[in-house]
């Protein structure tokens, strides 16, 4: 009974139509923002032995969910991260800006290393993990959490601007991460079976990393432009894949 009395004030939004609109919008937003993280997780876990990939995705995404829920519990602190702590080059840098810049640099470095390895697989000095394509399960989960921390803080600050209901934020995060859990396996398998998609996905990560750095420096790039570019590139690559398959099928018929 006491539990119901405690939770009741947090779920008063169920009778408010505008709150349901905010919930739906926030769920869609969280899922869209999660695409960046999902691409990174897919590429990273594909570096593991095949028997460990599914487990790494489950553990990494589950740990990311717990971290996001914990961050929501400290939302009053997260919101204060937008307060400038110092000024340089005419721009006031907040902790959020510094986190975005650090996350962007990390993402650019990872994507650049992996692109180099993809282009020159015989050069083992510059692989993504610093050694020939080997990575531990713990290392993969740590890197998933590291990048998810960057995206989580940004998405939580965005969520605060859309609703004051903490329950709506919790539900949106749980639904979005559940969708990521379901989509992670098929996406990783698709990337693994289509090598040309790997380079496209790495290009996306490189662009996202540069966008995070720009955002942290005070130059905001509308997300719509980013996802429109990603969608167009994916469409072109899809047409290329279709053309290659038809060409391969015709050459097979010829024999």
172, 180, 223, 230 from 21: Cα distances, Å: 12, 21, 21, 27
User: Residues 226, 207: contact at Cβ < 8 Å?
Assistant: yes
Phi, psi of 86 (to 5 degrees): -160, 165
Q: What is the pLDDT along the chain (255 residues), one digit of tens a residue?
A: 443 443 344 445 555 667 777 778 778 877 877 777 888 888 888 888 888 888 889 888 888 888 888 888 887 777 777 788 888 777 788 888 888 888 889 888 888 888 887 776 665 554 444 444 456 888 888 888 888 888 777 777 767 666 667 788 888 888 888 888 898 888 888 887 777 777 888 888 888 888 888 888 888 888 777 778 888 888 888 888 888 888 887 776 655
Measure the CA–CA gap between 33 and 193, rounded to whole angstroms: 25
- Cα-to-chain-centroid distance, residue 44: 12
Measure the CA–CA gap between 94 and 216, rounded to whole angstroms: 9
Give the predicted TM-score (pTM) of the model.
Answer: 0.69
């Amino acid at each position: 009974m006491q539990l119901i009395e405690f939770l009741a004030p947090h779920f008063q939004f169920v009778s408010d139509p505008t709150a349901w609109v905010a919930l739906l919008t926030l769920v869609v937003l969280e899922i869209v923002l999660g695409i960046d993280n999902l691409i990174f997780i897919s590429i990273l876990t594909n570096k593991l032995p095949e028997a460990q990939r599914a487990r790494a995705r489950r553990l990494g995404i589950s740990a990311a969910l717990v971290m996001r829920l914990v961050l929501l519990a400290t939302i009053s602190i997260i919101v204060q991260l937008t307060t400038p702590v110092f000024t340089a080059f005419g721009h006031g840098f907040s902790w959020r800006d510094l986190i975005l810049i650090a996350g962007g640099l990390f993402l650019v470095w990872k994507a650049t290393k992996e692109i180099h390895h993809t282009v020159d697989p015989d050069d083992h000095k510059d692989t993504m993990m610093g050694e020939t394509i080997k990575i531990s399960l713990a290392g993969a989960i740590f890197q998933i959490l590291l990048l998810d921390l960057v995206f989580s803080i940004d998405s939580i600050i965005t969520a605060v601007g859309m609703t004051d209901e903490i329950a709506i934020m919790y539900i949106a995060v749980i639904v979005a991460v559940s969708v990521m859990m379901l989509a992670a396996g098929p996406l990783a398998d698709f990337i693994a079976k289509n090598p040309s998609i790997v380079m496209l996905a790495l290009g996306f990560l490189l662009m996202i990393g540069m966008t995070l750095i720009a955002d942290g420096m005070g130059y905001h790039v509308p997300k719509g432009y980013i996802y429109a570019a990603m969608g167009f590139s994916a469409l072109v690559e899809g047409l290329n894949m279709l053309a290659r398959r038809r060409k391969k099928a015709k050459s097979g018929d010829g024999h």
